[in-house]
Amino acid sequence: MLFSETKKAALECVLFVSVDSLSLAELAEAIELDEQDVMKLLDELISEYEKTIHGIRIVKVAEGYRFVTKEEYSCEVEKILKPHVSKLSRAALETLSIIAYRQPIIRAEVERIRGVGVDRILARLMEKNLVYEVGRKDTPGRPILYGTTSEFLEYFGLESLDKLPELQSVSEEQIADDLKIMQEKQEERFKEDQN
């Protein structure tokens, strides 16, 4: 029993000090247990934080786990922190939405859909590590294929691409609006994460 509690405390500590979310494999390596045992300890910790009064909780984001502050304490957190969330422009959100829903996709296809060049926007999205080069399309010229990163998932607070809003014959502009709403929600969560 003491061993389990010690490992759970170690897991809690590792999650607490990490800036980024940590995968099961990373957590298992850090506390020297197999992933199945780490998952059991994670479930216990998550349950403990939900059952008792705490200002923080453990969430699954992208491909890992992390501590975040609870929404009900956002006012207190805002008094201390002045978050510098990098907002994306409407053009960047539109470009990102096209890539997210149609990945892997080449730049020319994104430009055809948007009707304008996306070189600078694509470069910015890559700088922010929201988009990356997935590979090359097997056509003449072998153009680069783009896809979204795990940082994209974290930025929008998604567990996986399956959690993107359903696409039902809507325009790219409507998708960008949805991403804008998700971005605003993520900014609120960012304020929580700063604890």
User: Residue 170's pLDDT is what?
Assistant: 53
Mean pLDDT of 59-69: 87
**Whole-prediction pTM value?**
0.54
b/e per residue 115-141 (b: at least 16 CB within 10 A)? eeebeebbebbeebebbbebeebeeee
pLDDT at 191: 66
131-181 pLDDT per residue, tens:
999 999 999 999 999 999 988 988 887 888 888 877 665 555 666 666 677
% of the chain at pLDDT higher than 70: 82
Domains of the chain listed by start with CATH number: 2-69 (1.10.10.10), 90-193 (1.10.10.10)
Percentage of residues in the chain having pLDDT higher than 90: 46
